[in-house]
Amino acid sequence: MDKIPVIQKRNKSKIKSRKMASSSQDLLDAQAHVWDHILSYINSMALRCAVELRIPDAIHKHGKPITLSRLAEALCINTAKTNGLYRLMRILVHSKFFDRVIISEQEEREEAYSLTRASRLLIRDEPLSLVPFALLGTHPVFIEPFHHMSEWLCDECPSAFFTKNGMDHWEFAAKDEKWNQGFNEAMAADARFTSSILVRDCKHVFEGLKTMVDVAGGTGEVSKVLAGALPWLKCIVLDQPHVVAGMEGSENLRFVSGDMFEFIPPADTVFLKSIMHDWGDEDCTKILGKCKEAITHSKINGGKVIIVDMVVDGEKQAHEATKSYLVFDIFIMANFAGKERTEKEWAELFAAVGFKNYKITHTLGLISLIEVFP
């Protein structure tokens, strides 16, 4: 038998070595991927800490990029834990909530922190501040149900929130005044943000309409903005008694207590912002049925329903957008027993109630505007 040439043996050795190296790297990459997801909650908890400490407010008040020492002083940080603040800021810079810049301070060049567009939304006194929403989304009441997800998948409860608390979120909010207030403040903050974009980019959607019912409209932030920007539109905010209690209206805005599953006041349009994703298909069908009844007698071309909610389409959306949709969908599943829907799922809901047509406008970032016609 002929001997294998030495050079061939060396080539096989090199190939084997490369395969071993590749295999090891694949394992290490997989380990890093697992670690990253195990500890991904650190991102939201670091953000919550920044909001609680009011770091964006401190930088904003300073009026220019701020050094670590001055930031620690402004926040009354324990001097022994200044390095802890530095490490917190390091991950928040990496997450693009702050920028790190070089400034000249007393003839020395130092690192300093400045705000980004994202952290400007976390300044408490800003008109479009999302602080209440950030604190709500990272609150233990919404985090703890995720510790019961595996249990929920095997039980008969409608959500992991129910598994944890023995009641759904709406019953919980009705019984816990402090939580109800925080939830309403968060929804109001989100509503102010979204409605500011609505009146800027989607005003045409409301042209020709004279009356609108804002279903489950909370404290009426969307209606307040629309009523202020569209003087021809008379708005009614419909929500549970404990939500609208004490709310004061205006010339073209009034509050009505009631149950959307029972009755929705007649109007040219029924408006639902971030409502449908809280409910399963059966409940959504009931809500849409009441919406259809409410616009039946409208003289404005039969009226319409306006839905502001997510439309999931993983094939057409960017990777980061898809990730946001999927994360939000699991959040809704865990806490509300609802879901984020694809266009096909929306269409099936509309058809089930007898709506003949719909139009989707993608102008609100992760959120879409859906017009539904009888």
Domains by residue range for the chain, with CATH = 41-120 (1.10.10.10), 131-373 (3.40.50.150)
Mean pLDDT, range 181-210, rounded to an integer: 90
User: Has residue 154 got a pLDDT over 70?
Assistant: yes
Q: How far apart are the first and last CA of the chain?
A: 86
From residue 42, alpha-carbon distances to 87, 88, 259 in Å are 12, 10, 39
The pLDDT tens digits of the residues spanning 256-302 come to 999 999 999 999 999 999 999 999 999 999 999 999 999 987 766 66
Per-residue pLDDT at 138? 96
Q: Amino acid identity, residue 318? A: A
Per-residue pLDDT at 73? 97
Q: What is the DSSP letter of 371?
A: E
Per-residue pLDDT at 313? 79
% of the chain residues with pLDDT over 90: 71
CA–CA gap between residue 129 and residue 34 (Å, rounded)? 34
Which strand (E) or helix (H) includes residue 238?
strand 234-239
Per-residue pLDDT at 4? 52
Per-residue pLDDT at 39? 95
Mean pLDDT, the chain, whole residue set: 90
CA–CA gap between residue 75 and residue 267 (Å, rounded)? 50
Q: Amino acid identity, residue 167? A: M
Find out whether 227 and 209 touch, Cβ atoms under 8 Å.
no
CA–CA gap between residue 200 and residue 202 (Å, rounded)? 6
What are the start-end ranges of the E strands in 116-170? Answer: none
CA–CA gap between residue 357 and residue 241 (Å, rounded)? 33
Per-residue pLDDT at 321? 76
User: Has residue 172 got a pLDDT over 90?
Assistant: yes
User: Has residue 220 got a pLDDT over 60?
Assistant: yes
Which strand (E) or helix (H) includes residue 177?
helix 177-201
Which strand (E) or helix (H) includes residue 335?
helix 319-336
Cα 113 to the center of its chain, rounded Å: 26
SS3 state at 123: coil
Active site residues: 277
Mean pLDDT, range 347-351, rounded to an integer: 96
Per-residue pLDDT at 13? 59
User: Has residue 123 got a pLDDT over 60?
Assistant: yes
**DSSP states of 248-261:** --BTTEEEEE--TT
